[in-house]
Amino acid sequence: MTKLDTRSRRGAVIVEASFLLPLFLIFWFGIVDWGIAFWVHQTIVYRANLAARWGVVNAWDPGSIRNIVVFGRTTGSGQGIFGLSAQGNADGTGTNVDVSLRCLTTLSPSLQSGSTCLDAQWSDFRWIEIVVHNYTRTHFTPYFAGSYIGRQVTVTLPGESLGSS
């Protein structure tokens, strides 16, 4: 190679890097961003499972169950995770976290929900259902940036000792 050939190729590395570096960075930030999104979803699933287990072994209290999902404890204090709200109605429906008691009884084989399930016999099938919905996740990766609604999380567990104090 002559000295003239090396001068003409001197800027080739800079040009190639300017094409590949943005693609590499978008790919790398995308991996981190989607990893965080999966972590958020898995954290909500974990909290909903904890709340369902707590609800099975304790007296029926939809407010406390919602607080476990949102705050990680039965008392409704502190910062909620990922914009979830523990606000709710007496029937168990909440802003983001719905808690319901469902049952199939031998007297009424159709699906029922609410406090009538507390009076069901032990031989009847009862379960706690927790649904977490409408939580938002913000992505920061270029071309995918924005707020998105996360996937709905539904957790159900059989309620063996519900209603006992």
The verdict on residue 52 lying in a domain is: yes
76 occurs within a structural domain: yes
pLDDT (tens digit per residue) in 24-34: 998 999 899 98
Q: Report pLDDT digits (tens) over 68-91.
A: 988 888 887 777 788 787 787 766
* Reported pTM: 0.76
Distance CA 34, CA 51 (A): 26
| Residue at 33 is within a domain | yes
Structural domain including 123 reads 3-158
163 domain-assigned:
no
Rounded CA-CA distance 74/69 in Å is 9
What is the number of domains present in the chain? 1
Residue 164 resides in a domain: no
